[in-house]
Amino acid sequence: MAQPSSVVIHLLRRDLRVGDNPILHHLGSSSSHGFTHCLPLYILTPNQIEVSGFILGDAKSPYPEARSAVGSYLRCGPHRARFLGEAVWNVKESLEALGSGLLIRVGMFKDVVRDLIDGLTAQNHKVGAVWMVSHEGVEENRDEKSVSAICEKEGIDFKLWTDEKYLIDDRDLSIANNQELPDVFTTYRKSAEPLREKPRAVLPPPEKGTLPPFPEISAIPAQAPPFTIPDSLDALLEVLLQPVQNFLPNLPQFPKSAVSAHPFKGGETAAYERLKHLIQSEGMKNYKDTRNGLIGTEFSTKLSAYLAQGCVTSRQIHHALLGYENGTDSAFKNVDGYGAGENEGTAAIRFELLWRDYMRLCHQKYGAKLFHLKGFKADDAQYNEGENKPKWKFPTKELAAADQNPSPERIAEVLARFTAGTTGMGLIDASQRELLHTGYTSNRARQNVASFLAKHLGIDWRHGAEWYEMLLVDYDVSSNWANWQYVSGVGNDPRGELRIFNPVKQAFDYDKSGDYVRSWVPEVSKLEKLENVFQACTASAEDVKAAGLEGNIMVTDPVKRIEFTVEGKPSKPNKRAFFRRKAQQARGGRSGGTDPDSPISSEGQHGDGIDDGKPQNQTQAGSSGQAASGDGSEKPAGQQGSDRAQPRGYYHGNDRSQSRGYHHGSGSGSDRGAAGLGRGRGGRYALPHAGQGRGHWEQPPRLQPDA
C-alpha cells in the first residue's frame, strides 16, 4: 500500500534565496522531517502590490487597488515590481535546478493557503505543515495569524521560522526582549560589538535532489479566478508592470544627461555577482570614502534591494568579506588588502548592516507606531526638555486645523511639486527625479529629501514615507519608515528636531561641481553659478534669461528659499539650535544623549546650515546667491509673499475617484484627534473609501489611529 503523503508548504516571503535559507536548509539536510513532498510557494498579496494585471480579459479585480493609507499612492511602483518579479523568477529557477520548483499565486495568504489545502487534500495529499519565516509589520503579522488560524483548525503544523537574514541573529542579541532595545543606536551598537565576531555561520543551499519532491502538477489546484499566472519571466514582468507603469502622468523623459545608479536585476544570482564584484573592484575596501557619493553604481554597495527581498543575507555579506579579509577565498586574492584583516571599508559595511538590524528591532519594539504621525515618540515624555514637538501641515481639510496656514490646497500643491521634483531646490529635485526614473537615490539624498519635507516644509512626513514606499526599489518596511521617523524628528534620533539638513550646503558639500543636480534637472544645467543650480530662484534675471528659465516655476515660485552664502556659511548662524544642542548633551538627551553613530556622516550631524528661511522676493535675489539675513523663523512654502492659489508644476495627481474604505490618519501633530475620514474624493489626496471588494475581502488598516 502506498505511503500516505505529507506535504509541507514552504511559503517564501522576503527570503527569496536558496542559500542561507533556514527552511530549505532544514528540509535538504534533515532525514527526519517526515515530509514526502515540499511545495515552495510565493504569494503576491493584493494589498501590497497591484495584481489587476494578472486578470485576463474584462473581468474585474475582486480587490481594490493596492494604495497607501495616507496619500493613496500605489503601494508598489514599477521599479520594485520589476525587481521583485526578477527575484521571484530567479528563485523559481534555482529551486527547479535543485529538483524542486516554485508555485506562484495571487491572493491573500489565507485564501491561497485555504485553496491549496482543499485542493491537495482532494487529490489525496495530506498537508502536514505550513512553514514560513516571520516578518515584522502589521500586515505581515496579520498574514501569519490568518494562516496559523487555518492550520490550527485543520490540525496542520504551523511554524514561523526565525528569518536569519540579519547580521546578528535574534538568538544572539544582547537584549532579553525587544522592549529592552536602547533608543540610541550607539548604545545598542556597543552592546553588539565586536560585530565581526557575532554573525552566525551561513547555511549552505540544499544539494540537488535533497529537497522533498515538488507535488505532481495535476494535484495542485489552479489559481483562483479571475487571475492567471504567467509562465515566463517576461510575461510575469508584463503583468506586474502594466497596471503601475503610468504611476505619474506627464512623467518627464529620462534626462539624456543622467545615468541610473541602480541598473541592477533582481534575484539571488545577481546579488552574489554584485557582492563578488564589490570585493574584487575594491568597492568594499573603499566604501568609507565613497559612501556619500551621489552618482554612479559604485559609490555604495547597492545591496539594499537584494537585502530587502532576502536575495542575500547580511551574514552572507559578512562571510564574503571574511573570505577576503582572512585571505581564505582565492577569488579575492588579487584584491588589495587580501588577508590583511578588517579594514575601514569592510568595518563600515558591517556598521551599516547593524543599522539595518537596529531599524528592524525598533520596529519590533514599537510595532504599529512605525506608521503613526507621532512616531515612536507618541509618548510626550520621550521628548527632551525644551524640545518642540513637530506641528504638521496636511494637504487635506479633514486633517488640517481650520486655520492651517498655508491652506491644505497649497500644501497639496507643494506636495505634488515635492514628489515630482519641481520644488526649485536643486538637490531635492534631482533626488526626487532620480527616484522617479530609477527607484533609487543615495542615502545622502534621502536624508536631505526627508528633512526638507518634514523640517523645512513641515508637511506630514508619512507622505514622504509612502512616496518612497511606492518608488524605492529597495523599500523595506522597517528601514524606510524608521529612517523617515529618524529624520523627521519623531523617531530614534536623539537630536530630534535639532537635526536639519540645509540642502544648499549639502549640495555644495556633496555635489561639488553640480554634476548630480545638472544631470537630473536638465532645466538648470545651463546656469553657470553653482548656487543658482542648487537654488534656481537665486539666479539673476539675466542668468535666468540666458538659461531659458524665464517663467519656470522653480525660479518664479520656489516652494522654499534658503539663505546661504557662497562661502558656505549660513547667513545667520543659529545660536539657538547650538545652545539647545549643548543643553541636550549636558542632560544626556533622550535615553542616553546624542548619537555619534548617526547614519548621517559628520557634516550632516551638526546642526550646520540651519535654514533661516526668510521669505525673499525673487527679484531681490542676487546672483551671488547671498541673501538678506533672515529672521530665524521657519516659514513653510506658501507663506512666502502672496498666497498662491493656482496649482503649478507638471504633475497634478492621478485624479482618482475610487479609494478604500478605511482611514488611518490622525491630526495628532497639531493635537487633533483621529478624524473619521475615508470619504469623498479630493483628487490626488483623496482619502481611501470602499473599494469593489468581493465578499470575503477585507483590508483592515495597517495604521491605527494614534493612541
Ligand X SMILES: Cc1cc2nc3c(=O)[nH]c(=O)nc-3n(C[C@H](O)[C@H](O)[C@H](O)COP(=O)(O)OP(=O)(O)OC[C@H]3O[C@@H](n4cnc5c(N)ncnc54)[C@H](O)[C@@H]3O)c2cc1C
Residue holding cell 520644488? 423
**Cα→Cα distances 163→96, 131, 276, 289, 315, Å:** 23, 12, 23, 32, 12
Question: From the CB of 301, what's the least distance to ligand X, in Å?
Answer: 3
Question: From the CB of 444, what's the least distance to ligand X, in Å?
Answer: 8
Residue 551 in grid coordinates: 517663467
Of 72 and 300, nearer to ligand X (C-beta) is 300
Residue 173 in grid coordinates: 542579541
Q: Could you say which residues in the range 292-311 bind ligand X, by CB under 6 A?
A: 300-304, 307-308
Residues 74, 464: Cα–Cα separation, whole Å: 13
Question: From the CB of 492, what's the least distance to ligand X, in Å?
Answer: 11
Question: Between 355 and 374, how does the x/- string for binding to ligand X read (CB under 6 A)?
Answer: xx--x---------------
Of 323 and 693, nearer to ligand X (C-beta) is 323
Is 303 known to sit in a ligand binding site?
A: yes
Is 287 known to sit in a ligand binding site?
A: yes
Is 301 known to sit in a ligand binding site?
A: yes
Q: Which of 5, 21, 48, 479 binds ligand X (CB under 6 A)?
A: 479
Of 313 and 640, nearer to ligand X (C-beta) is 313
Question: From the CB of 118, what's the least distance to ligand X, in Å?
Answer: 37
Is 493 known to sit in a ligand binding site?
A: no
Question: Between 502 and 531, how does the x/- string for binding to ligand X read (CB under 6 A)?
Answer: ------------------------------
Q: Which of 108, 211, 472, 537 binds ligand X (CB under 6 A)?
A: 472
Q: How many of the other CB atoms lie within 10 Å of CB of 427?
A: 32
Of 211 and 473, nearer to ligand X (C-beta) is 473
Is residue 287 within 8 A of residue 252, CB to CB? The reply is: no
The interface region with ligand X, picked from 7-15, 109-117, 472-480, 652-660 by CB under 6 A, is: 472-480
- Side chain identity at 302, as an amino acid letter? K
Of 5 and 506, nearer to ligand X (C-beta) is 506
Residues 704, 707: Cα–Cα separation, whole Å: 8
Strand-pairing partners, residue 105, are 43
Residues 6+ apart with CB under 8 A from 586: none
Of 361 and 562, nearer to ligand X (C-beta) is 361
Is residue 661 within 8 A of residue 688, CB to CB? The reply is: yes
Q: How many CA atoms within 13 Å lie on the side-chain side of 491?
A: 32
Q: Could you say which residues in the range 601-660 bind ligand X, by CB under 6 A?
A: none
* Nearest residue to 158 via CA among 110, 88, 96: 110
Is 357 known to sit in a ligand binding site?
A: no
The string of DSSP letters for 319-364 reads HHHHHHHTT--GGGTTSTTTTS---HHHHHHHHHHHHHHHHHHHHH
| Dihedral Cα 446, 674, 694, 116, nearest 10 deg | 60
Question: From the CB of 449, what's the least distance to ligand X, in Å?
Answer: 7
Question: From the CB of 597, what's the least distance to ligand X, in Å?
Answer: 11
Question: From the CB of 365, what's the least distance to ligand X, in Å?
Answer: 15
Burial 472-507 (b: 16+ CB within 10 A, else e): bbbbbbbbbbbbbbbbbbbbbbbbbbbbbbbbbbbb
Is residue 250 within 8 A of residue 287, CB to CB? The reply is: no
Question: From the CB of 286, what's the least distance to ligand X, in Å?
Answer: 12
Residue 539 in grid coordinates: 539666479
* Nearest residue to 629 via CA among 536, 562, 696, 545: 562
The string of DSSP letters for 510-562 reads HSTTSHHHHHH-GGGTT--SHHHHHBGGGS-HHHHHHTT-TT-HHHHS-S---
Of 258 and 677, nearer to ligand X (C-beta) is 258
Judged by CB under 6 A, does residue 398 bind ligand X? no
Is 166 known to sit in a ligand binding site?
A: no
Q: Could you say which residues in the range 593-612 bind ligand X, by CB under 6 A?
A: 599
Judged by CB under 6 A, does residue 185 bind ligand X? no
Of 494 and 638, nearer to ligand X (C-beta) is 494
Residues 408, 15: Cα–Cα separation, whole Å: 41
Q: Which of 47, 447, 535, 598 binds ligand X (CB under 6 A)?
A: 447
Judged by CB under 6 A, does residue 463 bind ligand X? no
Judged by CB under 6 A, does residue 487 bind ligand X? yes
Is 474 known to sit in a ligand binding site?
A: yes
Q: Could you say which residues in the range 133-172 bind ligand X, by CB under 6 A?
A: none
- Give the H/E segment covering residue 160: strand 157-161
The interface region with ligand X, picked from 122-130, 137-145, 335-343, 470-478 by CB under 6 A, is: 470-478
Judged by CB under 6 A, does residue 468 bind ligand X? yes
Q: Could you say which residues in the range 331-350 bind ligand X, by CB under 6 A?
A: 349
Of 300 and 535, nearer to ligand X (C-beta) is 300
- Residue 613, sorted as left (phi over 0), alpha (psi -120 to 50) or beta, turns out to be left
SS (H, E, C) 613-670: CCCCCHHHCCCCCCCCCCCCCCCCCCCCCCCCCCCCCCCCCCCCCCCCCCCCCCCHHH
Judged by CB under 6 A, does residue 492 bind ligand X? no
Of 111 and 476, nearer to ligand X (C-beta) is 476
Of 479 and 506, nearer to ligand X (C-beta) is 479
User: Interior CA angle at 265 toward 259 and 271, to 5°?
Assistant: 115
Judged by CB under 6 A, does residue 446 bind ligand X? yes
Judged by CB under 6 A, does residue 75 bind ligand X? no
Tell me the residue length of the chain: 707
Judged by CB under 6 A, does residue 456 bind ligand X? no
Of 236 and 303, nearer to ligand X (C-beta) is 303
Gyration radius from the chain CA atoms: 26
Of 220 and 261, nearer to ligand X (C-beta) is 261
Q: Which long-range contacts (CB under 8 A, 24 or more apart) does 551-554 make?
A: 552/523, 553/417, 553/422, 553/424, 553/648, 553/649, 554/422, 554/423, 554/424, 554/429, 554/521, 554/523, 554/524
Judged by CB under 6 A, does residue 352 bind ligand X? yes
Judged by CB under 6 A, does residue 435 bind ligand X? no
Judged by CB under 6 A, does residue 291 bind ligand X? yes
Contact residues: ligand X, CB under 6 A: 291, 300-304, 307-308, 349, 352-353, 355-356, 359, 442-443, 446-447, 450, 468, 472, 474-476, 479-480, 483-484, 487, 599
Binding site for FAD: what residues are annotated?
A: 287, 300-304, 474-476
Binding-site residues: 287, 300-304, 474-476
